[in-house]
Amino acid sequence: MALLRLPVALTLGAAVLFGAAPASAQSHIENPIAVFNGLDKITARIIAFEVEIDETIQFGSLLLTPRACHTRPPTESPNTTAFIEVEDVALDGEVVSLFDGWVFAESPGLSAIDHPVYDIWLTGCRQTSLADAPADETSDSPDRPAPDQIPLPPPRPF
């Protein structure tokens, strides 16, 4: 009888052991803010900017709307993705769709955003905006005197 229970116990033990894989292995973290870099190819100026999900911003003649921004938990390999919509506004005001799809921060060359003047790529996702971050506390520290209360050094003769 004990011999019959052993295979059943091993089977149940294996099912519990292998069936207990963490559900987070396939999960992602949804973020409310997508972080991009934009390149103006004429001036060679790169600008970093943040966009909230479902908010549309204008970079040059491009309208950018992120619809989702996902990251993985810190225990997994990085894989930051965003679903974005990019439209181009012509001089006559006509709006033309350039790109709807997923972009990857780790592989910026995979996106099909093709524009002769501007280039946009995803650099990351955030839970909070850098603009909402608390100000640097060292400037308002009570240990430092106000600038008008710092004595000037004595004048030096020439």
Torsion angle in degrees (nearest 10) through CA of 130, 136, 140, 144: -170
Residues 6+ apart with CB under 8 A from 90: 61, 96
Terminal alpha carbon distance of the chain: 107
In tens digits, what is the pLDDT along the chain, a chain of 158 residues? 554 554 444 444 444 444 444 444 558 899 999 999 999 999 999 999 999 999 999 999 999 999 999 999 988 888 999 999 999 999 999 999 999 999 999 998 887 788 999 999 999 999 987 665 555 554 455 566 666 666 666 666 75
Residues 6+ apart with CB under 8 A from 123: 35, 36, 37, 48, 105
pTM over cut 0.75: no
Q: Which residues pair with 64 in a beta bridge?
A: 57, 86
- Pairing between β-strand 118-126 and β-strand 81-89 as defined by DSSP bridges: unpaired
pLDDT for residue 54: 97
pLDDT for residue 111: 78
CA distance 90 to 98: 12
